[in-house]
Structure formats: structure tokens, C-alpha cells
Amino acid sequence: MFVQLFLLAPALAAAAIDRKAIVESFNVVRTEVPKVIDNTTTPLQVGNGNFAFNFDITGTQSLVAFNTLSSWGWHMDALPQNGEKLEEYVGVPVATHGREVIYDLEDPKLPEISKWLSANPNRINLGRIRLSYKNETLSSITEPRQVLDLWNVVSTSSFKIDGKDVKVVTQGDFDTDSVTFDIESVLIYDGTLRVEFDFPFPPIHKVEKTSDFEVFMGSYQFPDNHTTSIVKSDIALDDTAHIHHTMQETSYYQNLRWPKESPLTLTRVGKQDSNTTNAHRYELFPAILGNNLTRANRLSFTAQYSLQLQRPPLPSSIRRRNSLDWHKYWQEGGFVDLTQSSNPNATELQRRIILSQWPKMTELVTKGIAPGETRAYLQWQQPHPIYLAELAYKANQSKETLQRWDRVITSTAQYMASFAWFNNSSGKYDLGPPIQGVTENSSPTEISNLAYELVYWQWALNAACKWKKRLEQDCPPTWSRVAENMAFPPEYDGLFAPWVGGGVNASWWDNPQLNKDPRSVIMLQGMVPDTPLMRKVSPEVGVRTANKVWDVWGDAQIRGWGRNVLAINSARVGNPERAIYHLTNFGYWTFGDQGFAHRSGPSPSPPPYFPGNGGFLLAIGYMAAGWAGSEGHAPGFPKDGTWVVKHEGMLQAL
């Protein structure tokens, strides 16, 4: 994400990092079948940014009903049948500084529609691909060993069924929503080992609270609610087959292809009008070759999921290009190398760096409304587009970059300037009420002037004006006026406070309802670049606040992405020892063997918790490459002689 701006010290810049060796050293190896399958059981994955095939130790979804997911696979539950109408939901008016503003809150007059909007659209499981043995779904294996080759992103799984060897090679496609399989065993030769496809139906989603998670998506208990069928394309080909899946408004294809020299046969197991759980189950197995009735001992095919009936790429084509694309992926972008460090925590920290990935959230894809107090009132994310635009410009300072982002900058800044309101008593611009804070533990209608949001607001509006200047355009006066006159972040006794009102006063640090997650008071001096507001505050306030958070926020209470912002803040206030402590306190923060971060601390949720991974990468970027105004190499790492930090392809943070 970040690319270095300054020159490395000569000893560190002498040689390029051997990325391949480092990546391959963290290949994921599994040798055990999960003894208990619950919401903490996690898969391995292949795919790309738009598609993920999640699989168990067999290289398929045989033992655990993991999901096959895409960026386009969405479904709408049936509307409530209590007479409430979707078109009647228009939001809820809230009195805001002498006027009514419509917010996307749960409407007490439309409780069921409000819940429906929160649950829809919902992502669907496109289908399950698993092995069957002797006409039964595979349920038992021995001597399993699975290796996920990270450099090539290929999984090789070997195990035994009834004492016979089975090998499964699983690989995704870098470009399409496809997964390939190469399965070898004498059990294929004798016809007892086959591949099964099954298609679930998404049940009605009852969202009662934010901790409602659906780990294994879809149900096979509603066969009458959807249809599947084998369809033929306009051109009859003997190396392809297609299954069409329709459920209400959602319809898509599973397109199959195999090598012509190794033909396969696709048959339906259950009947379309059957009410049994196998109604939408299919089998794939080698076709009979010639008159001698011999079969192959290998089964190779591509399964592609698409909104259209297509002829997918051959497995050999995907294998060839996928490796090349992943090699390019690993060679591009920033990279941090800690392998020469003697610190005992360096290897695990390096593993987490390599395995962490960060997919974007989905609101811009679904464009859905999710009524709720936190979602409606939360504001700290509003400056993010301007921050991201600044990163884009820093990486490519061109007119093209300025023009590409200008509409986003303009719309974001217009909203932010209009949200702030002028306080005649103070002569400053306030934020809220209503407003919800980063930690989501306040009363939105009772608080205002959140410390982090005030500073971030000012920075973003100033950055928007600077953007217009780069384009040789005038900055709208409202933007600069609001930025120049933002209220000061609240302080009590020389320490930052999270907000004004809502029970916050000089003793708020002793209130467990308020101090259980104080991350926002350190984010304004860490996550946010330097601002005029912060320059008017004594640096000692930030240091004292960081020390107070260290005393109050114990390891057992830190959750989510909290350790990442603590590390960034610690680095920026000049305490790299504390920064590295937060990222290496592995006993309190778990990353799975495949790199999925857990949401540790109070109210944990099932992994993966991707904000943990994303924030972790951001913190590593700060600590390794530095930030505007930082001095020296790797300013976020201790200078105790145990850390040797190399990095390439990275910019300093803003």
C-alpha cells in the first residue's frame, strides 16, 4: 500500500529482497482433519479479488460445507408478509439544529421492513464441490497432508480413502470466477470416487443483532424453492457442460470444461421435483473410453461460475497463466523483509505480513440501505475517500490522477462542509449531534465534537482545497471556512477526551462504560496527518494521552483493529518499543494458519476479521517506511539491535 520516498541506508539498499524465498517459506501446511466443526473452523482459499473457493483438507468441500463466493452473487429474501411495503420506507426524520434531517434508522412503524433492509441483499453460496465415494458423500479420510503454495497459489492435497491414495490439486483463476481440479486415484479408475456438485438455497435471514453471522451459507432443506438443470449451449461440444441455477430473481451458471482427451460425464443424482436434500445434486466422472470399458484414473476439469452460459478456460490454460499472474502480483507493490532480524517475534510477524490480505467492503457494490443507529450516524469514515485520493496522487502525481479523483473529492468535501454546523456561541464549527464515534459506544443524540473526527475533518477539507489548487481551480469558500474554524478537540486535565457530552468529563477515564475502548483519543495523533488543530495543541497532550491509554486499556480488552492504531500512534509519538509490543503480543491476538485475523478481545466474532488484517498492513507500512516528517529508517521499529528491516516499493504515509 505504501511505497518508500526516501533512500535506504547503503547496507540495506545493496540487494533486492528475495520475495519468492520469503513468500514460499510461509506456505500453509495442514495435516489434520478438524475434530470439531464450528464457526471457528476456517478454510484455505484460491481465487482472486472477485471470487473465492473455500476448501477443506481434501482440496474440495467434502468434509466441511465451506462456501464458494463471488462479488456478483447476491440474493434478496422474500419480503415480509405482515403488510409492510418496501416503498414506504423513506428513512426517519431526526431533529438536527433546528431542522429535520432524514437518517437511515430503523422505522418503528416498519419494523419488519427495517430488518429486511438490514439483511438484504445477502451474499450467496454459489455451490458446493465435493468428492463422493461409493455413491455417498465422502466423510472419512486418513493420512491427510495439504500444502498451499503461496507463490503459485496452488493447493496440493493428498490423503487415503480405504487405504488407497488420492491426490487433489486445486487452483483458482486470476482472471475469471473459476476453479480447477486435477484429481488422481485408482478409485477414479474403478468408478467409486466421483465429484459431486450441489446447490443450496439461502434461507430467510433474521438479523436481530450485529453479531448474527452465517458461517456455512445456504441450506439444502428447501429443494422446492429453487431449480437447477443441465442445459446445452448452441454449439454442441463434448468437452463442456452447464448447470443452470435459478432461485427467485437470482440466476447463474456453473460452466464446466475438461480436456477432450480425458472426457467426463455429468449426470443428475436427484430429481428436479423431488423434495429430498439431494434434489440439486450432480455427479461428474470419467466417461467410458472405447469398447474395452476402461476408465481413466485421473479427473481434470474447470468449474466456472457466471451470470452467462460460457465456455470456460481449460484447466491447463488456467494453471499456466495463473502462476504467471501470481508471480507478477508478488513482485509488484510494497514488501517488508524482517528475515534477518534476531528478535524472536520476527518470524511470526513476517508470516502475518505475507498472509494478510484486505478486500474492500461491499456497500458500493450492493448499493443497499441497512437501517441502524450506528450505521446512520457514523461519520469517521467520511474523509476516507480524500485520504485515498491523496495516496493515489502521492504515487502518481499527474493531471490524470487529479482529474480521475476530482469528482470524488468534490462530492465528499461538499458533504463534509454541509454536515458541520456553525456554533454562534463559540464561533466554531461543530460536528453533531447526532453523530456516532469510532468506538460505537456513545449516545449519538447526546454527543458532539468527537476529537478524532474534528481533526480528520479539518485535514480532509484542507486536502480538498489543496486538490483544487493543483487543478488551478478555486477552493469553495465554505470548505476553507469550515476547515479554518473547526472546534478544538476536547481536553480534560491535559488529556484528550473522545467527545463532548454523553457523560464525558474529567473523570471519564474511571468509567468502564466509556474507557473500555478509548482508541479514538489516540487516532487523532497517528492515523491523521499533521493538521493546524494539532499544531495548536501541546505535543505533551498527545504523549500523556497515549500513556494514559496504555495504563487503562489492558491487553485483554483490546479488540478488533485496536492494536493496529495503538501501534501507529506509539510510533508517531516516539515510542517504537510500545508499537512493536502491540503487534507482537501474539498471546492476545490470533492469526490463523492461513493468515485470517481473529477479532480478539471482548465480543469476539468468527474469523476471518479482515479489518484486523487490513489495519495490520497499514501499521507495518507506517512503522517500516515512516510518515511525513519522520526521521531515520524504519522509525516504528525499536533500535535495540534485534530488528533488521528491509523494504522496497513503498511510500511514506501521509
What pLDDT digit, counting tens, does each position of 495-540 carry? 999 999 998 998 999 988 888 899 999 999 888 999 999 999 988 9
Are 382 and 415 in contact, with CB atoms under 8 Å apart? yes
d(CA 52, CA 70): 6
**With 60 as the cut, is the pLDDT of residue 98 above it?**
yes
At 53-62, the pLDDT tens digits run 999 999 999 9
- Range with the poorest average pLDDT among 61-70, 181-190, 203-212, 610-619: 203-212
Report the predicted TM-score, pTM, of the whole model to 2 decimal places: 0.93
pLDDT band at residue 324 under the 50/70/90 scheme: very high
Residue 203: its pLDDT value, please? 75
Of all residues in the chain, what percent carry a pLDDT higher than 90? 77
Residue range 158-182: mean pLDDT, rounded:
97
Residue 204: its pLDDT value, please? 67
- Alpha carbon separation from 573 to 522, 526, 544, 617 (Å, rounded): 10, 8, 10, 19
Q: Do domains 27-75+100-323 and 378-553 have the same CATH topology?
A: no
Residue 581: its pLDDT value, please? 97
Residue whose C-alpha cell reads 452447464 in the numeric block: 242
- Residue 250: strand pairing partners: 247
**With 60 as the cut, is the pLDDT of residue 362 above it?**
no
Helix, strand, or coil here: 296? Answer: coil
d(CA 56, CA 43): 6
At 260-295, the pLDDT tens digits run 999 999 999 987 777 788 899 999 999 876 555 557
- Range with the poorest average pLDDT among 48-57, 312-321, 331-340, 599-608: 599-608
350 alpha carbon, distance to own chain's centre: 20
d(CA 637, CA 644): 9
**With 50 as the cut, is the pLDDT of residue 14 above it?**
no
The amino acid at 335: F
Residue range 630-642: mean pLDDT, rounded:
97
Nearest in space to 519 (alpha carbons), one of 443, 591, 437: 437
70 or 607: which leads in pLDDT: 70
d(CA 29, CA 27): 6
Cα-based torsion angle of the residue sequence 506, 512, 514, 517 in order, rounded to the nearest 10 degrees: 120
427-430: long-range contacts, CB 8 A cutoff, minimum separation 24: 427/485, 428/485, 428/486, 428/487, 428/488, 429/482, 429/485, 429/486, 429/487, 430/487
**With 80 as the cut, is the pLDDT of residue 92 above it?**
yes
Residue 370: its pLDDT value, please? 86
pLDDT band at residue 388 under the 50/70/90 scheme: very high
Q: Which fold has domain 27-75+100-323?
A: Beta-galactosidase; Chain A, domain 5 (2.70.98)
pLDDT band at residue 209 under the 50/70/90 scheme: low
- Alpha carbon separation from 63 to 31, 41, 59, 155, 349 (Å, rounded): 14, 12, 10, 16, 31
d(CA 236, CA 446): 67
pLDDT band at residue 36 under the 50/70/90 scheme: confident
On the 0-12 / 13-18 / 19+ scale of CB atoms within 10 A, 588 is middle
Residue 43: its pLDDT value, please? 95
On the 0-12 / 13-18 / 19+ scale of CB atoms within 10 A, 485 is middle
pLDDT band at residue 11 under the 50/70/90 scheme: very low
Of all residues in the chain, what percent carry a pLDDT higher than 70? 93
| Highest-scoring range by mean pLDDT, 38-47, 74-83, 311-320, 606-615 | 311-320
Q: Which fold has domain 378-553?
A: Glycosyltransferase (1.50.10)
User: What residue segments make up the domains of the chain, in order of their start?
Assistant: 1-25+339-369+579-654, 27-75+100-323, 378-553
Residue range 626-633: mean pLDDT, rounded:
95
Residue range 425-438: mean pLDDT, rounded:
96
pLDDT band at residue 366 under the 50/70/90 scheme: low
Are 551 and 515 in contact, with CB atoms under 8 Å apart? no
Residue 212: its pLDDT value, please? 56
DSSP string of 113-178, one letter each residue:
HHHHHHH-SEE----EEEEEETTEE----EEEEEEEETTTTEEEEEEEETTEEEEEEEEE-SSSSE
Residue 609: its pLDDT value, please? 86
Residue 291: its pLDDT value, please? 56
Residue whose C-alpha cell reads 415480509 in the numeric block: 80
DSSP string of 187-222, one letter each residue:
HHHTT-EEEEEE--BPPP----STT---SS--BSS-
pLDDT band at residue 368 under the 50/70/90 scheme: low
Find the length of the chain: 654
Average pLDDT over the chain, rounded to whole? 91
pLDDT band at residue 337 under the 50/70/90 scheme: very high
